[in-house]
């Protein structure tokens, strides 16, 4: 038997969340973002559950090839494009749509025989200053791809730095539109701008294609406090539930301590449950005492430091809790957003960090 820890992935939650995204998208098409092993949910599994999406977005050519081997025929967007000239023949071979975001890529593309027609996304740097062209390189890039006889359609994209925060999107949106107005031929090109946060908050960013990721997995781009999140966020269903069991209990007297560094000291008499889940399973080591956890469906808190394979929780007020009792770390009944907020991070990081050693079960 494996250790009692397991992650359960709900196909119906993924499908439900896609419908929520579609409602926000209006008529825009949906690139379901499947990078990072579908945010830890499993690439092929997520693609199967999300088959009603219009296309899939990934980073890695191996991920793209795996989608094609799995029988996916929808468009596949390569979010960082290609990296080396050797990647180029894969574009037509697997019918992939690369994002082209720097002049080196343009040059690689310009001199390449692609072996077939390839659609291209040109990425604008509208202020995030991570990937994307300035207006001058954009013009040069557009001229180069337009001249390439194997380049099919040309779309444009940009990415928002603070769609979930106080800056919003208006500055970047108007800068992007200003750049596009200056380049004849791109003024009318299909746009793809919105991640989950922009899709939910800013309908004006929809364009032709939207790119939701985190919301498909049932988590919030706004974090746990998320006061700016519209009430519709509550419609999302967590797709991943991480569960384990208590494997030992300890009774503590006042002043006794728990775990590495003796980091937690019992103020009064208390009972501790030791859970088979640690940072080597993907649980954040920096989650402090007080991070929420469900024991047999009842909320309690972690105490002390998270170890590699175990964590400790206060079960003093949960009399039924004993060895074998079920523990939910996040998912159904306890949002990963809340656990992440307690640990000073975002649900994205928790989901992506699910360790390969955790057995995954899929439920309808
Ligand atoms: C990851 C990513 C997304 C999805 O973002 P979410 O916040 O998960 O919705 C969209 N676009 C790009 C370019 C990305 O890298």
pLDDT in tens, 257-315: 999 999 999 999 999 999 999 999 999 999 999 999 999 999 999 999 999 999 999 99
CB atoms inside a 10 Å sphere around CB 203: 13
Distance, CA of 276 to CA of 99 (rounded, Å): 42
Q: Kindly state the helix (H) or strand (E) to which residue 191 belongs, with its residue range.
A: strand 191-192
Name the residue among 120, 13, 124 with its Cα closest to residue 75: 120
Provide the angle, in degrees to the nearest 10, between the axes of the packed helices 135-147 and 103-110. 10
Q: Are 277 and 244 in contact (CB under 8 A)?
A: yes
Residue 275 bridge partners (DSSP): 246, 311
Q: So what's the pLDDT on residue 234? A: 77
Quick one: the chain helix, strand, coil %, rounded to 5?
30, 25, 45
Residue limits of CATH 3.20.20.10 in the chain: 11-220
DSSP state of 269: S
Higher pLDDT, 232 or 159: 159
Site to substitute for ligand 1 among 17, 32, 33, most atoms within 8 A of C-beta: 33
Confidence of residue 230 (pLDDT cuts 50, 70, 90): low
Name the residue among 91, 85, 148, 143 with its Cα closest to residue 115: 91
Look at domain 240-363 and name its CATH class: mainly beta
Any atom of ligand 1 within 6 Å of the Cβ of 101: no
Any atom of ligand 1 within 6 Å of the Cβ of 81: no
* Tokens 């720097």, located at residue: 102
| Of the listed ranges 65-69, 133-137, 210-214, the one predicted with least confidence | 133-137
Phi, psi for residue 302 in degrees, rounded to 5: -75, 155
Catalytic residue among 74, 93, 260, 279: 260
Tokens coding 167: 């800056």
Q: Are 215 and 21 in contact (CB under 8 A)?
A: yes
Tokens coding 86: 């050797």
Please tell me the distance between residue 108's alpha carbon and the centre of ligand 1 in angstroms. 25
- 260 labelled catalytic: yes
Distance, CA of 34 to CA of 144 (rounded, Å): 30
Q: Are 126 and 101 in contact (CB under 8 A)?
A: no
| Of the listed ranges 31-45, 222-236, 248-262, the one predicted with least confidence | 222-236
Q: So what's the pLDDT on residue 360? A: 97
Residue limits of CATH 2.40.37.10 in the chain: 240-363
Sequence-distant (≥ 6) Cβ neighbours of residue 102 within 8 angstroms: 131, 133, 137
CB atoms inside a 10 Å sphere around CB 221: 25
Q: Which atom of ligand 1 is nearest to the CA of 31?
A: 10
Q: What's the fold here for domain 11-220?
A: TIM Barrel (3.20.20)
Average pLDDT, integer, range 196-211: 97
Please tell me the distance between residue 291's alpha carbon and the centre of ligand 1 in angstroms. 27
Tokens coding 95: 């019918």
Distance, CA of 294 to CA of 328 (rounded, Å): 5
Q: Which atom of ligand 1 is nearest to the CA of 196?
A: 9
The pTM assigned to this predicted structure is: 0.96
- 35 labelled catalytic: yes
């Amino acid at each position: 038997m494996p250790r009692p820890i397991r992650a359960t992935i709900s196909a119906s939650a993924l499908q439900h969340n896609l419908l929520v995204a579609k409602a926000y998208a209006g008529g825009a098409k949906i690139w379901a973002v499947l990078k990072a092993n579908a945010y830890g949910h499993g690439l092929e599994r997520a693609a199967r559950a999300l088959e009603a999406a219009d296309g899939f977005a990934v980073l890695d050519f191996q991920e793209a090839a795996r989608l094609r081997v799995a029988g996916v025929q929808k468009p596949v967007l390569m979010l960082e494009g290609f990296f080396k000239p050797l990647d180029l023949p894969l574009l037509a071979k697997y019918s992939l749509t690369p994002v082209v975001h720097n002049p080196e890529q343009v040059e690689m593309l310009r001199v390449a025989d692609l072996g077939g027609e390839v659609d291209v996304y040109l990425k604008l740097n509208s202020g995030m200053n991570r990937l994307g062209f300035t207006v001058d390189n954009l013009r040069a890039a557009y001229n180069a791809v337009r001249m390439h006889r194997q380049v099919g359609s040309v779309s444009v994209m940009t990415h928002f730095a603070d769609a979930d925060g106080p800056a919003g999107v208006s500055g970047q949106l108007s800068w992007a539109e200003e750049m596009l107005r200056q380049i004849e031929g791109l003024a009318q090109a299909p746009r793809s701008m919105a991640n989950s946060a922009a899709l939910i908050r800013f309908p004006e960013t929809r364009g032709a294609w939207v790119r939701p990721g985190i919301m498909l997995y049932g988590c919030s781009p706004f974090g746990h406090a998320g006061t700016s999140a519209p009430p519709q966020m509550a419609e999302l269903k967590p797709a991943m539930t991480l569960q384990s069991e208590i494997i030992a209990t300890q009774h503590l007297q006042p002043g006794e301590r728990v775990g590495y560094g003796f980091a937690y000291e019992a103020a009064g008499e208390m009972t501790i449950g030791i859970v088979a889940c640690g940072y080597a399973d993907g649980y954040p080591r920096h989650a402090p005492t007080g991070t929420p956890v469900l024991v047999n469906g009842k909320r309690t808190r972690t105490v002390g430091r998270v170890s590699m394979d175990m964590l400790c929780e206060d079960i003093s007020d949960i009399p039924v809790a004993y060895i074998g009792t079920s523990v939910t770390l996040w998912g159904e009944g306890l949002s990963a957003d809340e656990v992440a907020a307690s640990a000073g991070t975002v649900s994205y990081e928790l989901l992506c960090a699910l360790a390969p050693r955790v057995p995954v079960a899929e439920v309808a």
